[in-house]
Structure 1
Amino acid sequence: MMLSRLAPLAKRAVASRCFATRRKTKDMSLLAPEVYEALPIYNTTAEPPARDPERGPVTSAHCIDVAKKQISALDSAALSPTGTVVHGIYGDLGAAEGIPLEYLALLRHAAEGCAAIRTIIEKSKAKKGTILVYGAGEASALAAAQVASADGHAVVAVVSSEQSGNDDFMECLKGMISEPGAAVPEEYALSKKLFAELVEGISTGKDGTEKAPSADTYLSDFKKNFADQCEAYPDTRPAAVSEKHLDFKYMEKDHQFWEENMAAYLEQFPPGAPPVDKAKLDALFTVEQYEIFRRKFWEQTTGVISGDDTPFSAPHIVQQQLMEPGKLNHATYPGAGADFPYAFSVLKQFFPEGTAPTAGGPILGAIVAVTPDLQKAAEVVAAAKTIREKAEALHFLTAHQKASLGAVRSVISQATAVGAPVTVLGGKLAGVSDKPMEATPADVKTALAAMDIDDMGKTKLNYFVQVYRAGDFPFYGDYAVHQATDVMTGPRQIIVTK
């Protein structure tokens, strides 16, 4: 579940009491002195303390180093004796009171995501546009997608197969990305044509729907259909049915009941259409009269839904309007104003406020988060020299590895087709980038601002965090490592607090 944002930690000073019992252990001997001094250390050989209903304050938070299968000393945030926050990589962050420690442990990932956005903006030299993000379930790419969307860019986020099967996460991610952006599973991007159409629709604002015809076109179609109905179902018949319904094709002994039964049967049909003068129809039945007719048809439809069986005969209504043309109140008819904002009108065709498609802008670039499946697939294919070797390498990849490689190629091709840059997060990607993304102090500052809670309790950046509090039971730390290295752990980021 997504971590609820915590209130500012106003009483961090009391945390200094937790450092009085600190004692050194071998696994922390390689830390920088200032980081070491900030991290609380517990006696893991003692009996687990009894769970206190009024838990003491959390003084540190650590990510899991999946590669080393241990709690990370660098991706961590801890309270110093003076109440400031010390990050394992970026050092003293100051008070940082508006940000939970659990989020500050993910600061490196957030900063790298901000660095990727900054790099794309600098290279594209455009203020706003469309940014593609692959691996949006990873911490760094999730940060990039949210921050880019909050900054006004249209984001097309592709979730890799590790998280795309999590429906709850997909729905949450869609809510985090503002329109005209979108979030799609990796399987969607595997169809290059389908993904290209999605990106084009978002970047250009063309959603594939055709522009509504003019009022004259609607009127012309109506008159043709009306004339056809008058010819097919004239009022010389007892009802608007075809002639074959009136033919008696049964046994003669039933003929005496035929007319009585047919009268009851034909009552369910509207009456036939009276003759129409086409010249008069063309001259007198204007667009305004058609709008009046549509208003009456709309009211009849509403009546049918509510159970009102008032008879309604379209041909007779048109004939009545030809004899006595109605008058339209241009201030109140449906579609004219705020009273009927979503009612369609042939006279006033418009999109209600907030419903018109908007263009996301040109493709500025693509951000690719290196997932384990993607990294393995890219390395194997890049190592192959000939086409045959590449084909054999692809053949022995797992289905998820193949899918990740195909999806990321689909994302990258959309950017490279327009000369937009591609940035890589979370390591190197064979064939794309041999240099991992590095965050500058300005990127760290941007990430902290995105994590900060505003006066309304909102923030640009949210994570899905599962916390194991080793301060209560130290063995939670080992269990958190196990959970983080387990296959298909979902989109959550696992944090150990002490």
Structure 2
Amino acid sequence: MMLSRLRLRLRPRSAASRALGMKAAPQYEPPLPPHFSMDAIAPPPHGLGSPTTPDVDPMAIVRQPVTAAHAVDLPASRLSALDSAAFTSDGKAEHARFGKLGDAAASVPLEYLALLRPAAEGAAALREVGAAPGSTVLVYGASRPSGLAAVQLASSMGCAVAAVVDGQHSGSDEMVDAVKGLTREPGFAVAEEYALCKASFRDEVLAAVRGEGGGGWDSAAFLEEFQRNLVDYAEHYPADLPAAVDAQQLKFEGKEKDRANFKVNMEAYLSQYMPGSPPIDAAALRARFDADQYELFKRKFGRQTSAVISGGDGVMDVTRFNPPEIVSRMIDSPEEGASDDDSNDYPFEFSIKHPPRPTTPTVQGGPIAGLIIEATPELVKAATAVSKANTLRQKAEALQFLTDGERNAHAAAASLVKLAKDANAPIRVVNGALPGFTSVSANEEDVQTALDAMAIGEDGEEAKLNYFVQVYRANDFPAYEAYGVFRAGEECTLRSVVVTK
């Protein structure tokens, strides 16, 4: 038993001895390179910081340089390969359709160069119809790229432009006003629906041809219109009404149980508004309320507005200002007329005695030089359907199966075509083709004309040709390429969509 216990005790000792006798092999450490120091390796840009390497926000978007701009090819639902411009290796701009542009495009934004084709077509259309200063140019589709270029180029050369905004944008008052602002009197711009009134539209165009656009300045006509409106207002809103509201709104149309309190509640509610007009004698109004009285009457509005803004000066009642009552008192007791020396007291106030100074030089109307039609999708479909019909009945049937927008486009364009044919003026189609009409083809001269018009002067002078552009930077966000194509295909898109890459 002793021997067994001794053997058990010696075995672990022997294992321990062998373990203590083991030694790890030495590891090789390479020598440090010469001139090594702790500053030889720059710290990471984030966390530790460095005086020479500024910290960069990892969430910041670093914009990539723009090298190309593309318009959208709507029929193919992709970016256009031809209507695009890019920078070459030497920094020059090159158009996919017109080739190298040279120094002519040095001051033209790259986004505009993607729209060079419609701009050149607008210039080509003006050249082919023979537009010249002192003539009148008709334009249909004036808010589309080619039509917009024709409007601006014609106005800049001194033509009176009669522009019609097609159905896609005619419902936007902002776009119609923008196109109207690009024309100069006697030129004008109207929505497509106005061109459907053929007689009224014809009279407006003929007035522009005669140089009578803008209505001129007729003090007697302004005064007569005011007097007529005031008499109508007094008849429609008499003073016995609780307020100047339509009498139909005071009729009780509720439940019978509410009739007893309706009048009381309505009078209490309407008491916060000004009453209607006192009776106005039309004969006395025309005899005593002349241009001088109207001038004094208009000035009361300026003083009243100033009093309301400043809280009143203790003289004027800012809470009660009833213009019909003021006119009625002036009819009974005419005030002292304004002298010509007082005309400069309110230089920014409307005056029927002194016409405002023109802010832009006017152009001289003249004979119709020609008609430029933008081939909009609605007009193309309507014109194609009608062109296939032989008889008048078939044409009527073809129009019957079109949408309202397509019929309106055909009728509005027909109004312009009739005016152009009556004047023996040429008709040209831009941005597509229409049956029976000639489409334009831009040459190098037209491209140069468009580039010169889109160029921005060194002193910041505004270009003669501008576009409403919505740019999507696909070079920063590749998903914008598909989104830009989608937005360009939406109806009533007010801006031309351009995608940069």
User: Cα 1:340–1:464, aligned 2, differ >3 Å: closer, same or farther?
Assistant: closer
Please, which of 87, 105, 122 is the counterpart of residue 114 of structure 2?
105
Residue identity in the other structure for 1:91? G
User: Cα 1:303–1:473, aligned 2, differ >3 Å: closer, same or farther?
Assistant: closer
How far apart are the structure 2 equivalents of 1:315 and 1:479? 67
Supply the RMSD in Å over aligned alpha carbons.
3.8
How far apart are the structure 1 equivalents of 2:297 and 2:217? 28
Aligned to 2:429: 424
Does 2:123 match 1:118? Answer: no
How far apart are the structure 2 equivalents of 1:56 and 1:68? 27
Please, which of 396, 404, 409 is the counterpart of residue 399 of structure 1?
404
* 1:89 alignment partner, SS class: coil
Aligned to 2:67: 59
Does 2:53 match 1:78? Answer: no
8 Å contact from structure 1 (residues 334, 344) kept in 2: no
Aligned to 2:494: 491
Aligned to 1:375: 380
Does 2:473 match 1:464? Answer: no
Residue identity in the other structure for 2:442? A
8 Å contact from structure 1 (residues 145, 157) kept in 2: yes
Please, which of 448, 452, 457 is the counterpart of residue 455 of structure 2?
452
Aligned to 1:135: 141
Equivalence map 1:117-266=2 (5 Å): 117-121=126-130, 126-206=132-212
8 Å contact from structure 2 (residues 474, 500) kept in 1: yes
* 1:201 alignment partner, SS class: helix
* 2:366 alignment partner, SS class: coil
Paired residues, number? 355
Residue identity in the other structure for 2:86? A
User: Cα 1:380–1:354, aligned 2, differ >3 Å: closer, same or farther?
Assistant: same
How far apart are the structure 2 equivalents of 1:170 and 1:492? 13
Equivalence map 1:315-326=2 (5 Å): none
How far apart are the structure 2 equivalents of 1:388 and 1:203? 35
How far apart are the structure 2 equivalents of 1:198 and 1:317? 39
Specify the structure having the higher radius of gyration (Cα).
2
Q: Tell me the TM-score normalised to structure 2 length.
A: 0.62
Equivalence map 1:324-343=2 (5 Å): 333-334=339-340
8 Å contact from structure 2 (residues 159, 363) kept in 1: no
* 1:144 alignment partner, SS class: helix
Q: What's the CA shift for 1:68?
A: 1.9
How far apart are the structure 1 equivalents of 2:456 and 2:217? 43
How far apart are the structure 1 equivalents of 2:72 and 2:298? 61
Q: What's the CA shift for 1:54?
A: 3.1
Aligned to 1:437: 440
Aligned to 2:24: none
Residue identity in the other structure for 1:180? P
User: Cα 1:395–1:457, aligned 2, differ >3 Å: closer, same or farther?
Assistant: same
User: Cα 1:301–1:471, aligned 2, differ >3 Å: closer, same or farther?
Assistant: closer
Provide, for residues 342-368 of structure 1, a one-character-per-residue CA deviation record: whole Å limited to 9, x for no partner: 7556xxxx7554399975222221110
User: Cα 1:472–1:414, aligned 2, differ >3 Å: closer, same or farther?
Assistant: same
Aligned to 1:69: 77
Q: What's the CA shift for 1:297?
A: 9.0
How far apart are the structure 2 equivalents of 1:484 and 1:158? 22
Q: What's the CA shift for 1:494?
A: 1.3
Q: Tell me the TM-score normalised to structure 1 length.
A: 0.63
User: Cα 1:204–1:474, aligned 2, differ >3 Å: closer, same or farther?
Assistant: same
8 Å contact from structure 2 (residues 184, 362) kept in 1: no
* 1:163 alignment partner, SS class: coil
Residue identity in the other structure for 1:475? A
8 Å contact from structure 1 (residues 334, 343) kept in 2: no
Does 2:485 match 1:481? Answer: yes
8 Å contact from structure 2 (residues 192, 412) kept in 1: yes
Q: What's the CA shift for 1:470?
A: 1.7
Aligned to 2:310: none
User: Cα 1:389–1:210, aligned 2, differ >3 Å: closer, same or farther?
Assistant: same
Q: What's the CA shift for 1:53?
A: 2.4
8 Å contact from structure 2 (residues 293, 330) kept in 1: no
8 Å contact from structure 2 (residues 217, 355) kept in 1: no
Structure 1 gap segments, 5+ residues each? 1-49, 219-267, 270-289, 322-327
Provide, for residues 295-331 of structure 1, a one-character-per-residue CA deviation record: whole Å limited to 9, x for no partner: 689669967987789999989999xx9xxxxxx9xxx
Taking every aligned residue pair, what percent have the same amino acid on both sides? 41
User: Cα 1:192–1:474, aligned 2, differ >3 Å: closer, same or farther?
Assistant: same
User: Cα 1:115–1:308, aligned 2, differ >3 Å: closer, same or farther?
Assistant: same
Residue identity in the other structure for 2:487? Q
User: Cα 1:368–1:53, aligned 2, differ >3 Å: closer, same or farther?
Assistant: same
Deviation beyond 4 Å, 4+ runs, structure 1 = 207-213, 293-318, 335-345, 355-359
Structure 2 gap segments, 5+ residues each? 1-57, 225-277, 280-287, 305-314, 318-325
How far apart are the structure 1 equivalents of 2:124 and 2:452? 14
